[in-house]
């Protein structure tokens, strides 16, 4: 006559079964967030960004039409960088954060990219033109190379200190994977000049010089930073698409762009299962 299993035995069996499952089916959630590219992709498992956090607030709330869904890496990059700026330069206004992506990605109003959870717009930190005190960025204000507003009626000028600290915070953490900070060339040069004159850490100046970039096929970005994060090599094997040059520190952290040909799924599986195959195949260059 069969014995009724004791509850402990059932629990133990379930534990073994689940542990076995975990080995056969590793948790791939972090790798399934983004599909496709910034201008044609989708967002599978979005993370919602809070409307307020220390040193951080959104330009438009969700009820005002703001888009606040993204990948965990980009959320961490922005939330942690805003907090670091507030810590290093206390007494400033909050970082004003524009659109991320829609809950499932895809096309959104006001943007050509922002489709796979890897893009966000950050308004420039501003100072009051009259008093020189920090003030909340009133909107997308365009600045010239001196940091003065192009619109002579505007009451703000650029806060180079906090904008530099923001860029520095975004590039110094490998795990953020910041691949681009799109910004007008004249503001890039002004920020680098500011950082060099104040002897900021040359490692972050070198990285900032690499990732700050005025896009050739879009507005020059003299009224906000547009930040983009990379796909990890694992994410790329699962359909996340990167483009453009890769910074040397991201090659180390994220693997090379050409880890596998897109059309060869057998090779992709082999790479996913074998860490040696996933390692870069050729020597790394610093630029």
Convert residues 266-285 into a mask of x (bound to Zn ion by CB under 5 A) and - (unbound).
--------------------
| Helix, strand, coil percentages in the chain from 3-state DSSP, rounded to 5 | 35, 15, 45
Minimum Å distance from CB 82 to Zn ion? 17
Convert residues 211-230 into a mask of x (bound to Zn ion by CB under 5 A) and - (unbound).
---------------x----
Minimum Å distance from CB 286 to Zn ion? 29
Among candidate residues 185, 263, 174, the one with its CA nearest the CA of residue 220: 185
Write down the residue that tokens 């040397």 correspond to. Answer: 248
Burial class (CB in 10 A: 0-12, 13-18, 19+), 164: buried
Closer by beta carbon to Zn ion, 213 or else 226: 226
- 121 part of the interface to Zn ion, by CB under 5 A: yes
Residue at shortest CB range from Zn ion? 226
Minimum Å distance from CB 96 to Zn ion? 14
Closer by beta carbon to Zn ion, 162 or else 226: 226
Closer by beta carbon to Zn ion, 73 or else 256: 73
- Chain centroid, CA 205 distance in Å: 18
Q: Residue 190: enclosing H or E segment and its boundaries?
A: helix 185-197
Contact between residue 78 and residue 99 where contact means Cβ atoms under 8 Å apart: no
Closer by beta carbon to Zn ion, 118 or else 157: 118
The maximal CA–CA distance of the chain, rounded, in angstroms, is 92
Name the segment binding Zn ion (CB under 5 A); options: 19-27, 80-88, 117-125, 149-157: 117-125
User: Reduced to 3 states, what is the DSSP secondary structure of residue 188?
Assistant: helix
Minimum Å distance from CB 107 to Zn ion? 13
Please give the C-alpha separations between residue 176 and each of 60, 89, 254, in angstroms, as whole numbers. 24, 21, 10
Closer by beta carbon to Zn ion, 223 or else 234: 223
Question: Site for Zn ion (CB under 5 A): how many residues?
Answer: 2
Closer by beta carbon to Zn ion, 224 or else 256: 224
* DSSP state for residue 219 in the 8-state scheme: -
What are the residues binding Zn ion (CB under 5 A)? Answer: 121, 226
């Amino acid at each position: 006559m069969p014995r009724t299993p004791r509850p402990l035995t059932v629990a133990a069996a379930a534990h073994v079964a689940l542990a076995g499952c975990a080995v056969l089916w590793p948790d791939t959630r972090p790798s399934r967030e983004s599909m496709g590219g910034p201008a044609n992709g989708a967002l599978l498992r979005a993370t919602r960004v809070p409307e307020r956090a220390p040193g951080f607030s959104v330009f438009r709330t969700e009820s005002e039409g703001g888009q606040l869904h993204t990948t965990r890496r980009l959320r961490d990059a922005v939330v942690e960088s805003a907090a670091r700026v507030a810590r290093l330069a206390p007494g400033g206004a909050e970082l004003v954060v524009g659109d991320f992506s829609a809950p499932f990605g895809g096309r959104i109003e006001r943007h050509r990219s922002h489709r796979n959870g890897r893009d966000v717009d950050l308004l420039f930190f501003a100072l009051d033109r009259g008093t020189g005190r920090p003030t909340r960025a009133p909107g997308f204000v365009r600045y010239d190379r001196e940091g003065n507003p192009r619109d002579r009626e505007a009451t703000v000028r650029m806060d180079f200190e906090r904008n530099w600290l923001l860029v520095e915070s975004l590039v110094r953490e490998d795990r953020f994977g910041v691949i681009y900070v799109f910004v007008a060339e004249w503001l890039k040069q002004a920020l680098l000049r500011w950082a060099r004159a104040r002897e900021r850490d040359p490692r972050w100046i070198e990285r900032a010089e690499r990732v700050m970039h005025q896009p050739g096929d879009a507005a020059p970005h003299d009224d906000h930073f547009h930040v983009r994060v990379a796909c990890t090599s694992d994410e790329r094997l699962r359909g996340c698409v990167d483009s453009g040059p890769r910074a040397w520190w991201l090659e180390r952290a994220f693997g090379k762009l050409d880890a596998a040909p897109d059309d060869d799924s057998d090779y992709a599986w082999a790479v996913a299962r074998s860490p040696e195959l996933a390692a870069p195949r050729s020597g790394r260059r610093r630029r």
